[in-house]
């Protein structure tokens, strides 16, 4: 597909996700390299929603290691069970955090970050990747984000990882 996103200018968040996801699916279906696909997904999410920070951490042994992202520089390694990302890995489920200050063990890569959603992706029942989205506003994510971002991570579960 052409390397241009078509998004509704005045759409609701749900309408933007509905326009975005099929385009992301088309974009990644023609490419087998995981890093290339993650880089484009981070850019697409940033372009669509203007997120403060959006990116990926990949499981490597007992740690998550920073992958493609858009936004300010971030911590490179997160231990299993640590922070919001490590908790999503340990609990094998999405973490929706309306106020990061209220999340025990939250890792503050940036003091500007106020709310956060972290969504895991699975291979053979194990987490191999998490998507982390941070906002500089409190309570900026809800079940709509969770539903569509989980669908997006589901697309990556079907792709090869090399």
Residues that bind ligand SME (CB under 6 A): 53, 74-75, 78, 83-85, 106-107, 109, 113, 116, 132, 134
State in angstroms the smallest separation of the CB of 24 from ligand SME.
Answer: 21
- When the beta carbons of 116 and 140 are compared against ligand SME, the nearer one is 116
Q: What 3-state DSSP class applies to 82?
A: coil
Measured from the CB atom, the residue of 78 and 152 that comes closer to ligand SME is 78
- What is the smallest separation between the CB atom of 66 and ligand SME, expressed in angstroms? 8
Phi-psi region of 114 (alpha: psi -120 to 50; beta: other; left: phi over 0): alpha
Contact of 134 with 53, CB cutoff 8 Å = yes
Nearer to ligand SME, 27 or 49 (CB): 49
CB count in 10 Å sphere of residue 124:
6
* Cα–Cα nearest to 133, from 46, 67, 11: 46
Helix (H, G, I), strand (E, B) or coil at 66: strand
Q: How many CB atoms lie within 10 A of CB 5?
A: 16
- Least Cβ distance, residue 117 to ligand SME (angstroms): 11
Nearer to ligand SME, 23 or 110 (CB): 110
CB of 96 to ligand SME, least distance (A): 13
């Amino acid at each position: 597909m052409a390397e241009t996103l078509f998004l509704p200018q005045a759409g609701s968040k749900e309408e933007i996700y509905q326009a975005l996801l099929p385009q992301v699916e088309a974009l990644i279906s023609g490419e087998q390299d995981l890093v290339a696909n993650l880089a484009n997904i981070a850019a697409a999410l940033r372009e669509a929603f203007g997120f403060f920070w959006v990116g990926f951490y990949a499981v490597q042994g007992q740690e998550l290691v920073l992958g493609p992202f858009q936004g300010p520089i971030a911590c490179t390694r997160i231990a299993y069970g640590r922070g919001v990302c490590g908790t999503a890995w340990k609990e094998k489920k999405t973490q929706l955090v309306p106020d990061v200050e209220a999340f025990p063990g939250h890792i503050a890569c940036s003091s500007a970050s106020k709310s956060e959603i972290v969504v895991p992706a699975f291979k053979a029942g194990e987490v191999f990747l998490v998507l982390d989205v941070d906002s500089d506003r409190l309570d900026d994510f809800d079940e709509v984000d969770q539903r569509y971002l989980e669908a997006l991570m589901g697309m990556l579960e079907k792709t090869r990882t090399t």
